[in-house]
Amino acid sequence: MYLVVDDSRMARKMAVKNLSLLVGEDKNIREATNGLEAVTLYKEKKPTLCLMDLTMPIMDGFEAIKEIRAFDKDAKIIVVSADIQEISMQKAKENGAIGFIKKPVGNQNLKNMLTKLGLI
């Protein structure tokens, strides 16, 4: 199971489409619209991979990453964000993200990251 987290329906749709192409459409891909939903779903389903936005209502991606990693130290979380400031990338990494992709997520960018991390 895979988890895509973003408050933008369009961003989630794009990420799900590209992820499906890479991992196979038979894989279960769940969606969350904020960090709190992401943490809850992660604890229930323990996905293979989580694609996480940073700027969201209720709970942002930074906090969600931190909570997920506290629950599962081996969680594989890749940040997908338009916020490419060095400080944001560093904070996401410190909280436990294993990769960072600039929005919009493209098939090649996602493929390169998943290959680099040995996930495909």
Task: Return the domain boundaries, the chain.
Answer: 2-116
pLDDT of residue 20: 92
Q: Give the model confidence (pLDDT) of 7-19 as tens digits.
A: 999 999 999 999 9
Q: Give the model confidence (pLDDT) of 95-106 as tens digits.
A: 999 999 999 888
CA–CA gap between residue 111 and residue 29 (Å, rounded):
16
Has domain 2-116 been given CATH number 3.40.50.2300? yes
Q: Phi and psi for 96 in degrees, rounded to 5?
A: 125, 0
Number of helices (H) and strands (E), helices first, in the chain?
5, 5
* Whether the predicted pLDDT of 26 surpasses 70: no
